Structure 1
Amino acid sequence: MIQNGFSFIAFLILFAGIVVWLENKYEDQGIFKYVPALVIIYFVAMLMSTFNVWEMTESVSGARSAVKSAILPAMIFLMLLRADLRDIFKLGPRLLGTFAASSISIIIGFIISFMIFKDFLAENAALTFGALAGSWSGGTQNMVAVQQALGLKEAGMGYTLLIDSIDYSTWIMFLLALVPIAHKFNEWTNADTSKVDELNEKLNVKNDEIRDVIKFPDMMILLGIGFGLSALAMFAADFLPQNAVLTNTTWTILLVTIAGVIGAMTPLGKIPGSPEISNVLLYTLIALIAANANFAELTQAPIYIISGFVILAIHGIILTTIAKIFKLDLFTCGIASLANIGGVASAPVLAAAYSQSLVPVAILMALLGVILGSGIGISLATILQMI
């Protein structure tokens, strides 16, 4: 049994590293073909916690809290360094409008689903849905940010990841299955795809200008600025007004989000390595969150999974209706949906299923979700608490 704080942190990072390495080596085989490493890390760490592989001594608990608090804002800042608003605005009103419609339809889905199932869900369901909304508006990093900002306990996070894994996996398979019939959908909506093709050519030229090789100075400056801004944001948050929603953690997240958006429009945004380093922090953070969870607390899993499918069904119906009214193509609708629900990790996969050249469009739309996701999740949780 692990009782030392440093040993606890070292073990979790080693465990997360092994899972990521195995996923990279066997990504098309076994469990990794169906379940992402992030989910495996969470639930295996949760399993180890359930069987007391470590004891939450003062040393372990203190190390977990300190490391978790430190790497969260740094992760968000580094993740946002590729979210250049100037490029995102180039997507144009049609693509941005579809993304907004997708986000709104997801929010509506959350509210309706919560109203239907709230009597069957746990007391903290509003916070669980808020964390899930963070993920389904931006990505896993937003889900973690919302969870920390709202103070959602680990059991609630387990439900969030369960829905995010099962329902999201089903949704992405559904969207990929629609690709071969895109032309029929486009005929049904009378869509015109010329604008998307033109934008994609311009974005490809810019992306080719970013250096591919990550060098030692790149990693040092990114880590230094990331953690330096984390400390500064935590310090500044102490002087800002706080309440049940706007806590110290919430202010810290909002401050680093603003810093990341601004940093993306400076030379910092062109330094290679920020996505990779932020992923290291994200996977470590997921393991740390799961380390205090327990499977015995997951007693209402089926109803949460069903509620997630209701959210997706409402989202799909609304988005399809909008596509018909505004003559949108299936690529635009699918990417807008997955940029929200799947984020940066999976929106490019769907784009590549249409054409490899369309990947930059998907990435930009997903990055917009990264910027907005935390705010959407926190706001939705606040709304649901009032229902």
Structure 2
Amino acid sequence: MITSAFTFFTVLLAIAGGLKLVEYKSDSKLFTILPAIVILYFVIMLLSTLGLWQKSTEITDAYSSLKSNILPAMIFLMLLKADLRQIKKLGGKIVLAFFSASVSIGVAFVVAFMLFLPSLEPDSWKTFAALSGSWMGGMGNMAAIQLALDVPDSRMGYTLIIDSIDYALWVMLLLALVPHAKLFDRWIGTSSEKLDTVAHSLAEEQCTESSSELTTALLILLSLSLLVSVVTQSAASMLPTTTFFSETTWTVLIVTILGAFAAMTPIRKLQGSEAISNIMLYIIVALIASRANFYELTEAPLYIFMGMVILFIHGVLMVLFAKLFKFDLFTCGIASLANIGGVASAPILAAAYSRALIPVGVLMALIGYIVGTAGGLLVGKVLSMLV
């Protein structure tokens, strides 16, 4: 049994690295449905269930310190590619579609929570708040909300189960609808021709980054992100708190604002922000999983079904929005997946329509990085009032 904090952290990193290597080398479609980071959660949760490490004082202290300090740094780095000036070039209609998807997801969470409330645990609203952050942005937003609302690690297993199983079904449905785009667009009374202009405009801005001075850039980004983590936590400690707006909630919101502003400065041009933030995300997910076990997931079928209900309501509302605002099927699908799947899957759906549309998918997903945390916290606030 592992009792040393360094050994514990080394094992988590080794498992994360091993799974990422397998995903990189493998041609299996498994990783299309379940990315390595999702499998990582369940593998480490299994090892935790088997008691591979002990929750000693040393390990617990290291866990708390790493998680609380790395997460703000990760959020800052994650946002550096979300340049609002680039997002503006998507055009009002595409951005409107993204926020329509966000609103429909938020409403779907509230409606589904009200329907299933009698069958849920009192603190289950925190679980769904974290999931709504993921489905409006990505896993980084989910981790941010978990920290902000102090969601127990044991409850995060439900979030990951819904996020993996129901998300995979939703991706398959959206991809299956691609051949029927013209039929849908005729029914709505619109077309996707204007997207070509947007796509080509964005594609012209894409450039290949040089690998020179990479070490310098990585060191600057790593040190800057950790400095931001320290400063934002210090600033948050001086702000007034309530039951809902805790010190960690302020930390998450402040670092989100700083990251969005930094994305409009020359800092965003430094190479490596995405790589470092992804490594930090793997570490955070591994740490969360290390405190959970399978014996606590007794309500998994109920939560999976709730996830399907949420997606069904979201889908119905998106069709209504499409009819109201004349969104074509691509815009609806990519707006939905940019929220629910984030940067990892939105470009895949965009490519299924046309490779020229990949930048549109990427930028739409980046909007989620900016609004996902605040959106999830807002949903959490509404859900907490229903309990």
TM-score higher than 0.5: yes
For the residues of structure 2 that align with 1:321 and 1:217, how far apart are their CA atoms? Answer: 50
Q: Output the amino acid matched with 2:17.
A: G
1:121 and 1:304 in contact (8 A); partners too: no
The aligned residue for residue 367 of structure 1 is 366
Alignment deviations for residues 238-282 of structure 1 (CA, whole Å, 9 cap, x no partner): 111111221111111111111111110011111121111100000
Q: Output the amino acid matched with 1:25.
A: K
For the residues of structure 2 that align with 1:111 and 1:29, how far apart are their CA atoms? Answer: 36
For the residues of structure 2 that align with 1:209 and 1:225, how far apart are their CA atoms? Answer: 24
The aligned residue for residue 191 of structure 1 is 190
- Gap runs ≥5 in structure 2: none
1:78 and 1:260 in contact (8 A); partners too: yes
1:351–1:30: structure 2 CA closer, same or farther, 3 Å change rule? closer
The aligned runs of 1:1-387 (5 Å cut-off) are 1-26=1-26, 28-29=27-28, 31-208=30-207, 210-211=209-210, 215-387=214-386
For the residues of structure 1 that align with 2:244 and 2:210, how far apart are their CA atoms? Answer: 40
For the residues of structure 2 that align with 1:51 and 1:365, how far apart are their CA atoms? Answer: 41
- Cα drift, residue 325 of structure 1: 2.6
1:128 and 1:160 in contact (8 A); partners too: yes
1:212–1:361: structure 2 CA closer, same or farther, 3 Å change rule? farther
1:24 is paired with a residue whose SS is: helix
1:139 and 1:343 in contact (8 A); partners too: yes
For the residues of structure 2 that align with 1:225 and 1:115, how far apart are their CA atoms? Answer: 43
Q: Output the amino acid matched with 1:16.
A: A
1:207 is paired with a residue whose SS is: coil
For the residues of structure 1 that align with 2:186 and 2:175, how far apart are their CA atoms? Answer: 18
Q: Output the amino acid matched with 1:4.
A: S
Q: Output the amino acid matched with 2:245.
A: L
1:213 and 1:272 in contact (8 A); partners too: no
For the residues of structure 2 that align with 1:126 and 1:212, how far apart are their CA atoms? Answer: 45
Q: Please, what is the CA RMSD of the aligned residues? A: 1.3
1:109 and 1:311 in contact (8 A); partners too: yes
For the residues of structure 1 that align with 2:154 and 2:353, how far apart are their CA atoms? Answer: 38
1:214–1:324: structure 2 CA closer, same or farther, 3 Å change rule? farther
TM score, norm. by length of structure 1: 0.97
Q: Which runs of 4+ in 1 moved over 6 A?
A: none
1:339 and 1:362 in contact (8 A); partners too: yes
Alignment deviations for residues 17-39 of structure 1 (CA, whole Å, 9 cap, x no partner): 1111111111x327435321111
Alignment deviations for residues 75-103 of structure 1 (CA, whole Å, 9 cap, x no partner): 10001000001111222221111111111
- Cα drift, residue 304 of structure 1: 0.5
2:136 is paired with a residue whose SS is: coil
Alignment deviations for residues 319-371 of structure 1 (CA, whole Å, 9 cap, x no partner): 11221232211110001000110011110110011111111111111111110
Alignment deviations for residues 121-143 of structure 1 (CA, whole Å, 9 cap, x no partner): 22221001100000000001000
1:77–1:37: structure 2 CA closer, same or farther, 3 Å change rule? same
1:124 and 1:156 in contact (8 A); partners too: no
TM score, norm. by length of structure 2: 0.97
- Cα drift, residue 385 of structure 1: 0.9
1:237 and 1:251 in contact (8 A); partners too: yes
2:362 is paired with a residue whose SS is: helix
For the residues of structure 1 that align with 2:323 and 2:118, how far apart are their CA atoms? Answer: 35
For the residues of structure 2 that align with 1:361 and 1:32, how far apart are their CA atoms? Answer: 23
- Gap runs ≥5 in structure 1: none
2:177 is paired with a residue whose SS is: helix
Comparing 127-136 and 28-37, the one that deviates more = 28-37
2:133 is paired with a residue whose SS is: helix
- Give the aligned length: 386
For the residues of structure 2 that align with 1:322 and 1:249, how far apart are their CA atoms? Answer: 35
1:152 is paired with a residue whose SS is: coil
- Cα drift, residue 210 of structure 1: 4.8
Q: Percent identity?
A: 49
- Cα drift, residue 192 of structure 1: 2.7
1:126 and 1:385 in contact (8 A); partners too: yes
